[in-house]
Every structure is written in C-alpha cells, then in structure tokens.
C-alpha cells in the first residue's frame, strides 16, 4: 500500500503536521508530490489529494504555510521553495487588485480618448457634413431672408450703386454670365456691382446667389481676367452653399443650446449669417474648396488660375502682409490670402 513512485526524489519530501480540521490533534506527516497529486504519508496510511483542490496560505515572512485540503483537513509545513514549485502562486489579492486597476486605468484612458476623438470627429467631420445636408435642403426663401439681413448690415457701410460706366458694367456682366453659364445653381447667381469706399476692395457671395463686387476691387485688378478669377471664386462659394453651411456650422452649438433653453425659432441661426459672412469670413476649408472650384472653372474656359494668384499677391503686397497675417480689412479679412493659396493657384495653372 505504501509505495513511493519513482518520480519523487527524497528532496521533494517535506515534513509537517496534519490535523483533520475538526480536532486539535496533530500527527506527523511526510508530504510529497506525484504529478498533480499531493501524497501524504500518515504512518502506514497514504492519502492523496489533487493539487488543484488544495489551498495554500500566502507566504508571510518565514511563518509556516498551511495547506487546506479538500476534505477539510490541514497540513502545516515549514516554508520551502518546494512549495512554490508545487503551488505556483497566482498573483496575490493586492497584486490582482493592482492588476485590475491597471487594466481599468487603460480602459478609462481609452474611453476618454475615444470620447475626445468622437467629439473632435463630430466637430471636424460630423458638423460640416450635417451642415451641408441641412444647407442642401433649405428652401430658397431662407437663403433670401439670410441674404437680406446681410444687405441691411451692408447699408451701414454706405454701399452705393456702382460708379462704373454703363459699358464697363455691361461688359463685366456679360463676361460673368458667360463664365458661370451651365454651372450648378447658376440660375440664382447675380452679379451686383457696388461702390463701397467703406469696405474697400471686396467681393462676397450671399447665400441666395447675389455676388457683390466693389468698384474698389475692380480698380485694384489690372485686367478683367483678374476680376473674373475672383468672381469664379465667389461662384464657388455659391455652388458649394458656403454661406448657409458656414452659418449653420458656426451657430449649431448656439442653436442646440437655444433649442434646449426654449428658443425653438432658431433665431440665433439667422443672426449668425451676417456675422459669418462679414466678420468671421469663411473657413479655410471653404476657401480652399472655392479656390479649387474656381481654378477648374477658369481652366474649362481657357483661362488661367494664374490670374487669381496675381491678384492675391497684389492684395498681399498692397497691405504689406506677411504670410499668416490676416488682421487686415476688406476682401482680405473675409478672404485671407496666403502664400499657400497663391502657390495652389500657380500649381493649378501649371498643371494640364
């Protein structure tokens, strides 16, 4: 009955004290391991328990270790490295908690990062996408109403009828009409020539298709080609509905807040249209989009985007601008020219 398997060496036998877990009686015991089984020799008796069913007390300094057996019995043993081999310790409770927190920490950090990414993504992509969808569905009366408000604001800048000769006006109107004929939303486009010393060289597209251009800008241009290049850019703003899209984008937060606070009229949206068009200008993304549209349109008409670059450069030089300096008035304040845009126009002119 008492047979020690060959796989157990003498060094793997530990001497300890066994109790049945019910009485305080202790008996000397020789403990050894055979594969995944713990063997305990109690005198002539040989007991076996699967290792997996045995709990071992944690190591506390050099105090003895206690094995709690599946049948409720206990074996007390002096601490020994052999026990570590028999019972590979899972991480301690504290270590497990620390480990859990560590994983949790990354989960929390990941959740925060995802939240930030979602918000950034919404503002960067979701908001413009939504604004475009909304702008495409706005009835013309809304575009007209928003544009009328811009015109009312313009009146404060003493905008007068153009001083250009009838012939000059007719020529510019004819060239503009020819340039945008057949373009999307061209039916709504109307060139409005004005004299506006108060706002200087300027051109801007209103949401309903009215494209304002000041005599001051016509005078600054050294050719009709340059004038047409600017008008092509403004046409791009109208084709891409940048007026309403920009107003919706910049006012969405206020509109949402207004709706939550009980302003269901969306009045903050209409207020923001003149503000967007006249003070903030279009976003750089919208400017780039209008530029790209203009370059393609000019080339389709055998014109060159170089004209746009030339006028942009002259505007920058006239205002003594450095790259990145947007703090100037007139056309520049709503259409910040930059070396980047000039280079883009020159690149477009050079490409087939």
Stretch that binds Zn ion, among 42-50, 156-164, 267-275, 331-339 (CB under 5 A): 331-339
Query: Up-side HSE of residue 150: CA atoms within 13 Å toward CB?
Result: 27
Q: Angle CA(252)–CA(293)–CA(234) in degrees, nearest 5?
A: 65
> Do 202 and 334 meet the contact criterion of CB atoms below 8 Å apart?
yes
User: Cα separation of 199 and 158, whole Å?
Assistant: 9
**Nearest approach, Cβ of residue 278 and Zn ion (Å):** 13
Position of minimal CB gap to Zn ion: 335
Stretch that binds Zn ion, among 72-80, 135-143, 209-217, 335-343 (CB under 5 A): 335-343
The smaller minimum CB distance to Zn ion, of residues 240 and 335, is found at 335
The smaller minimum CB distance to Zn ion, of residues 290 and 316, is found at 290
Using the rule CB under 5 A, which residue among 33, 245, 303, 335 binds Zn ion? 335
The smaller minimum CB distance to Zn ion, of residues 74 and 238, is found at 238
In which element (H, E) is residue 238 found? helix 224-239
The smaller minimum CB distance to Zn ion, of residues 287 and 346, is found at 287
Q: Does 33 engage in binding with Zn ion (CB under 5 A)?
A: no
DSSP string, 18-62: EE-SSS---EEEEEEEETTEEEEEETTEEEEEEGGG-EEPPP-TT
Q: Does 341 engage in binding with Zn ion (CB under 5 A)?
A: no
> Do 16 and 76 meet the contact criterion of CB atoms below 8 Å apart?
yes
The smaller minimum CB distance to Zn ion, of residues 143 and 291, is found at 291
Q: Does 238 engage in binding with Zn ion (CB under 5 A)?
A: no
CB-based burial label for 52 (10 Å; 0-12, 13-18, 19+): exposed
Q: Does 242 engage in binding with Zn ion (CB under 5 A)?
A: no
Stretch that binds Zn ion, among 52-60, 246-254, 283-291, 323-331 (CB under 5 A): 283-291
Stretch that binds Zn ion, among 140-148, 173-181, 184-192, 333-341 (CB under 5 A): 333-341
Q: Does 74 engage in binding with Zn ion (CB under 5 A)?
A: no
Stretch that binds Zn ion, among 176-184, 245-253, 281-289, 297-305 (CB under 5 A): 281-289
Q: Does 240 engage in binding with Zn ion (CB under 5 A)?
A: no
Stretch that binds Zn ion, among 60-68, 120-128, 144-152, 330-338 (CB under 5 A): 330-338
Q: Angle CA(162)–CA(168)–CA(173) in degrees, nearest 5?
A: 85
In which element (H, E) is residue 186 found? none
Q: Does 245 engage in binding with Zn ion (CB under 5 A)?
A: no
The smaller minimum CB distance to Zn ion, of residues 29 and 154, is found at 154
DSSP string, 52-77: GG-EEPPP-TTPPEEEEPTTS-EEEE
**Nearest approach, Cβ of residue 337 and Zn ion (Å):** 10
> Do 273 and 207 meet the contact criterion of CB atoms below 8 Å apart?
yes
> Do 195 and 163 meet the contact criterion of CB atoms below 8 Å apart?
yes
Which residues bind to Zn ion, rule: CB under 5 A? 287, 290, 335
């Amino acid at each position: 009955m008492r047979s020690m398997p060959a796989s157990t060496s003498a060094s793997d036998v530990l001497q300890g004290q066994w109790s049945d877990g019910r009485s305080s009686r202790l008996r000397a015991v020789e403990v050894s391991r055979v594969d995944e089984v713990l063997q305990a020799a109690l005198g002539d008796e040989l007991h076996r328990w699967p290792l997996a069913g045995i709990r071992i007390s944690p190591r506390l300094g050099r105090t003895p270790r206690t094995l709690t057996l599946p049948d409720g019995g206990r074996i007390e043993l002096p601490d020994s490295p052999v026990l570590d081999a028999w019972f590979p310790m899972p991480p301690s409770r504290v270590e497990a908690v620390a480990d859990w927190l560590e994983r949790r920490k990354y989960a929390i950090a990941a959740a925060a990062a995802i939240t930030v990414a979602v918000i950034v993504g919404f503002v960067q992509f979701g908001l413009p996408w939504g604004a475009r969808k909304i702008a495409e569905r706005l009835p013309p009366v809304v575009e007209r109403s928003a544009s009328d408000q811009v015109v009312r604001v313009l009146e404060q800048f003493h905008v007068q009828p153009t001083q250009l000769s009838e012939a000059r006006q007719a020529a510019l109107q004819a060239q503009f009409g020819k340039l945008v004929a057949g373009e999307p939303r061209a039916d709504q486009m109307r060139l409005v020539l004005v004299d506006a010393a108060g706002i200087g060289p300027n051109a801007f597209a209103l949401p309903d298709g009215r494209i304002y251009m000041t005599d001051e800008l016509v005078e600054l241009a050294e050719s009709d080609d340059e004038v047409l290049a600017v008008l092509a850019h403004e046409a791009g703003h109208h084709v891409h509905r940048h007026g309403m899209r920009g107003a919706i984008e910049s006012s969405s937060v206020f509109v949402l807040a207004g709706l939550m606070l009980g302003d269901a009229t969306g009045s903050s949206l209409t207020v923001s249209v003149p503000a967007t068009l006249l003070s903030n200008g279009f976003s750089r993304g919208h400017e780039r989009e209008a530029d790209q549209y203009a370059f393609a349109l000019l080339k389709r008409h055998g014109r060159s985007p170089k004209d746009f670059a030339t006028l942009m450069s002259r505007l920058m030089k006239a205002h003594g601008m450095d790259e990145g300096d947007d703090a100037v008035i007139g056309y520049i304040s709503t259409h910040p020219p930059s070396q980047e845009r000039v280079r883009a126009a020159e690149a477009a002119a050079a490409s087939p």
